[in-house]
Structure 1
Amino acid sequence: MKALSIIILILDIFAIVKILQSGAEVPQKALWIALVVILPLLGLILWALLGPGSPVKK
């Protein structure tokens, strides 16, 4: 269980870095970061599916 928590933490940090590097507007970045921080697993999944540069938006 501890390993899963560490993996999710690493993925969340990766997502936050990618969000900050994205070309999205600042309010959008802040919203995505807040979502990833408040709901780590769900926020990560939503960002991967719906965030800037996601395959669903293309």
Structure 2
Amino acid sequence: MYSIIGLLVLFLDIFAIVKIIQSSASGSEKILWILGVLIFPFVGMIIWFITGPGGKKM
């Protein structure tokens, strides 16, 4: 069960990183977003999906 959840989080993190790289954000913003997703895999991914480049601005 935990391995399925881990694989799902890994897949979504990779998807988020690819989307960050493809975004129109500046280079430094991309680096910060990627670091956030890598350092905080689950929380960083959720924050990026909500507020990240191309996401809804709060």
Normalising to structure 1: TM-score of the pair? 0.94
> Once superposed, which parts of structure 1, at least 4 consecutive aligned residues long, lie more than 6 Å away?
none
Q: TM-score, normalization: structure 2?
A: 0.94
Quote the offset at 1:32 in angstroms: 0.2
Q: Secondary structure at the match of 2:33?
A: helix
Q: What is the number of residues matched between the two proteins? A: 57
Q: Percent identity?
A: 47
List runs of 5+ in structure 1 lacking aligned partners: none
Aligned-partner Cα distance in 2 for 1:20–1:4: 24
